Amino acid sequence: MELIFFWLILGIVVALIAKSKGRNPGLWFLYGFLIWPVALVHVLLASRTGDEQSPDSPAAGRVPCPFCAELVKPQARVCPHCRRDLTGFLSG
């Protein structure tokens, strides 16, 4: 009985860490309850999720093409995806 309680607590710990990193706590609880040693290491090494982009991201500073909606540099004259002329559409 104590062993099951111990595994539940460790599953909750894994889920709380996962939630703080923006991940699904329900799935991580199940993962942590079943194989907590692996899940604990995994969640500690996992990066945060989020919609924010880092400045080093390839999409940082890009704008959507008005024709195909793919991300392009603001200075682009021609969209590299749809090959449409962007002169006058993008500021930059």
pLDDT digits (tens, 9 = 90+) for 13-69: 999 999 999 999 999 999 999 998 999 999 999 988 765 555 556 667 888 999 998
| CA-wise closest residue to 62 among 52, 78, 49, 76 | 76
Are residue 41 and residue 60 in the same domain, yes or no? no
**Cα 11 to Cα 32: distance, rounded to the nearest angstrom:** 4
At 51, list the tokens: 């919609």
> Is residue 75 a part of any domain in this protein?
yes
Are residue 62 and residue 89 in the same domain, yes or no? yes
| CA-wise closest residue to 68 among 58, 55, 53, 78 | 78
Residue 76 structural domain: 56-92
Are residue 61 and residue 92 in the same domain, yes or no? yes
Q: What per-residue confidence (pLDDT) applies to 91?
A: 59
Are residue 64 and residue 92 in the same domain, yes or no? yes
pTM: 0.54
Q: What per-residue confidence (pLDDT) applies to 58?
A: 61
> Is residue 50 a part of any domain in this protein?
no
Residue 9 has pLDDT above 60, yes or no: yes
Are residue 41 and residue 7 in the same domain, yes or no? yes
Q: What per-residue confidence (pLDDT) applies to 43?
A: 94
